[in-house]
Structure 1
């Protein structure tokens, strides 16, 4: 069976790359390897996606959808037997409805492209993350992306009004709703959001938009202890009158890493505080927002919750503050990093990190733990560095030390990056047997042959 030739008949010669051509394409910005597959299909329309899936379903050929390849859990890994499916040529912003505050987009649109396009309409799509220049909106939906402003706007699933998806057998399910309130039976779009391409391929979306804020105030703050961090979150959420849009926390080791050469960032405040909070407020009151923000900071500093801080004076200052938090690539400096994306209740975080430090000290003697995250929504990112030469030999040990304690705290092994292949063995930490059984029932109903992103999320 000539897979490449058949796919070219279905969607045209320019829409298909063979295995050799595919091997020249990177598997992602943070990956050293190349994509693998029997072919890469790049359809231009939903009908072409349906044609590819219908044929692959008939011939029992696995299909691995891939977006911007910015994921960190090997959710788009392929093999020599599968067809890789990219919607990179389905990249049109079809419409922007300023009155309804809704954008209709194809799944291959880059997140940053939509953000920049909306500026001329004085609207925003508030999902934001460090990979905004590469991540696609279809991929954001398929993984239920979170990012920097979940505390105010929620996850990706809160921003999707409707979508169109293609099932494994080529059936097109169009649920392109534009209504915020639509209680007409099952909300079918939620089946596909966060499913990582295992239940269907998202091809188009209707996205909810918001009016663009006209003010932005930021501060980078040094705090003496974790109790002050959680108290500050509650106070600022109240005192900023609903304008709090981000509450990011960096433990001291991470802050030192991203503010010390050869990192490009420089420390706006001293490097010797236990915790650092990046605080952002976005509003629409030019006369009042800055004063309210400064007054709130003065109060918490007078009370000792904050011991040092730098207040933004310009948009350039805001960008510099965010560049420190977004400089996650620095965790690849100084060792072989295992990177984790977890969530747990705020009240449990200090005990969890203290226990993790102790267990790592006992069982992984030569390591370095870095902690940061979107603390306003309970999401922590961890990087455990081990010596480069030892690398993968520590994976099982480190993963068990990070994941297993989450069960006692009712935490999640994945806050925003999904499960993919990497977290599949640990899914049972966060999901019970009944939940896993229902997931398998859904998978069997929508993809009975098992061609969609085979092996990801749920074990075969």
Structure 2
């Protein structure tokens, strides 16, 4: 038995195991390796136990048992987070939602889905599709990430410009507080102004205020057609003009606006080897996507809009998708960052937010600043620029991951973010990886208020302690 487990803690865990079942509580050497870390670059750490409840009542029972003996608890979903939010510390208990899966109800009249928090995002998307609806949240880890974890970090993804962040897709929650209290408000109404909107406390709080167990999600009409184009513009000023033209010309059809700087484009086309639908040329590359309701109406409208842009001289070049395969090939260029470990070797990924007008100024300052501070340092830039979210990949070639100079990279990257009034996290959360830099994006008064809320809901600080704040 693990020497970190005190006799009182062991007794509490064994009693919990007797109550919830042997498969629900894994102690010491029985803890699976997967529960020792998330996708962050921090070293793994085994929890003293993993508790796997089936429902909110089981979560409540587990939290009460841990609270009675002072055991910190880290909630875990699909473990795809990048900031250490689901990583345990020594002596902690991991509370995994992996068995709390399944769609409980699809209410067609309300256009809602009630789902358990451990359900993979891809399963939510599939269930919506089979019911002739559309669930708009989407990200690369869709097959592994859990919907509860998506909400705990307020995930963004590819189509925020149209549908908003994860919090905009939630109508109701069931949450278990640190003391085991179950708060159930599975609201299905778009309009409900009866007091505080408590669900917003828990969305984006990374499991530090409560554990989400069930969710009422908003569903949308299934798109009748998807139009896309891969555009090349000469400079960032043209990117901003193109974004304005897309907002005006496409209106609510605009669903994605992805921008790739030349450094990113060179890596994906020359090193990853993704085929480009346009001839190589200097400039910035933009993937524009629109979702319509009627191919016969919206398809010609999209093409006419593209023709106007070409006639006006805004675009240096462009390719318009003629098929689903074409659209997939355009997105393959944007999603090729998943192959970077194979072609670039060890690297550090960053997720920041900036005012749209300042994005290129940031790139032009950050790239040389990194190279000056860290000899040999390289970087590429891309992201969901339509909603103010940039991603950076930064690395020193040939250096192992654990020796990459992340501290120096952080100082440069987040220092410039602060100067330009941005945020150190646009969609990945804070966890422990960005905790030091929270003050670059939030004022002392805001952080003090966060601490007040944490103390009110978790006075013993046993629920994911030390994360975010």
In 1, the alpha carbon distance for the partners of 2:228 and 2:87 equals: 38
Give the match for residue 435 of structure 2: 424
Corresponding residue to 1:24 among 22, 28, 33: 33
Equivalent position of 1:435 in the other structure? 446
| Partners of 1:205 and 1:115 in 2: CA distance | 14
Matched with 2:322 is 313
Q: Does 1:217 align with 2:227?
A: yes
Q: Distance in 2 between matches of 1:78 and 1:28?
A: 9
- 2:127 is aligned, of 107, 110, 117, to 117
CA deviations 1:242-284 (Å, max 9, x no partner) are: 20000011112212222335x3622222343331111110011
- Corresponding residue for 2:338? 329
Question: Is there any run of 5+ residues in structure 1 with no aligned partner, and where?
Answer: none
1:339 Cα deviation from its structure 2 partner: 1.2
Aligned to 1:65: 75
Q: Cα deviations across residues 296-355 of structure 1 (Å, max 9, x unaligned)?
A: 111112222211122111112222222221222233232431211111111111211111
Q: For the structure 1 residues 32 and 338, does the alpha-carbon distance in structure 2 shift closer, same or farther, using more than 3 Å as the test?
A: closer
Which residue is equivalent to 2:282?
A: 273
2:205 to 187, 195, 199: 195
> Could you say which residue in structure 2 is the equivalent of 1:85?
95
Equivalent position to 1:95, from 75, 88, 105: 105
**Equivalent of residue 106 in structure 1, options 87, 111, 116:** 116
Paired residue secondary structure (1:419): coil
- When the two structures are aligned, how many residues end up with a matched partner? 457
TM-score normalised according to structure 1 size: 0.95
Following the alignment from structure 1 to structure 2, what is the Cα–Cα distance between the partners of residues 31 and 432? 27
Paired residues of 2:102 and 2:115 also in contact (CA < 8 A):
yes
Q: Secondary structure at the match of 2:101?
A: coil
1:6-17 equivalent positions in 2, closer than 5 A? 6-17=15-26
- SS of 2:344's equivalent? coil
User: 1:297 and 2:306 equivalent?
Assistant: yes
Secondary structure of the residue that 1:287 maps to in structure 2? helix
Match of 1:146 in 2: 156
Q: Matches of 2:261 and 2:278 in 1, distance apart? A: 14
Work out the CA distance in 2 between the residues paired with 1:380 and 1:300. 25
Which stretch shifts more, 443-452 or 389-398?
389-398
Give distance in 1, aligned partners of 2:264 and 2:29: 40
What corresponds to 2:457 in structure 1? 446
Deviation at 1:214, TM superposition (A): 0.3
Which one of 291, 312, 315 corresponds to residue 282 of structure 1? 291
Q: Which moved more, 1:401-410 or 1:90-99?
A: 401-410
SS in 2 for 1:242: helix
Query: Cα RMSD over matched residues?
Result: 1.7
Say whether the 8 Å CA contact 2:38–2:87 is kept in structure 1: no
For 1:328 and 1:137, how far apart are their aligned partners in 2? 23
Alignment TM-score, normalising by the size of structure 2: 0.94
More moved, 345-354 vs 30-39: 30-39
The 5-angstrom pairing of residues 361-376 of structure 1 reads 361-376=371-386
Is 1:62–1:451's contact at 8 Å kept on the other side of the alignment?
yes
User: Cα deviation per residue 1:1-53 (whole Å; 9 max; x = unaligned)?
Assistant: 22652331231111122333334327356769656211111110110000000
- Residues 271, 5 of structure 1: alpha-carbon distance in 2 compared, 3 angstrom cutoff: farther
Q: How far apart in 2 are the matches of 1:31 and 1:384? A: 14
Task: Report if the CA contact (8 A) 1:10-1:48 is conserved.
Answer: no
Per mean C-alpha deviation after superposition, the further-off stretch among 189-198 and 117-126 is 117-126
Q: What residue is the counterpart of 2:14 in the other structure?
A: 5
Task: Name stretches of at least 5 consecutive residues in structure 2 with no aligned partner.
Answer: 1-6
Report the 3-state secondary structure (helix = DSSP H, G, I; strand = E; otherwise coil) of the residue aligned with 1:240. helix
Query: Displacement of 1:356 after TM fit?
Result: 0.7
8 Å Cα contact 2:139-2:157 kept in structure 1: yes
Contact 1:219 1:278 in 2 (8 A): yes
Segment of structure 1 superposing worse, 73-82 or 20-29:
20-29
Distance 1:429 1:439, change over 3 A: same
- In the TM superposition, what is the alpha-carbon distance from 1:158 to its structure 2 partner? 0.6
Q: 1:322 to 1:10 in 2, by over 3 A?
A: farther
- CA gap of 1:92–1:323, structure 2 versus 1, over 3 A, is same
Report the counterpart of residue 3 of structure 2 in structure 1.
none
Paired residues of 2:116 and 2:213 also in contact (CA < 8 A): yes
- Deviation of residue 290 (structure 1)? 0.9
SS in 1 for 2:295: coil
Instruction: Go from structure 1 to structure 2 and tell me whether the alpha carbon gap of 1:120 and 1:244 turns closer, same or farther (over 3 Å shift).
Output: same
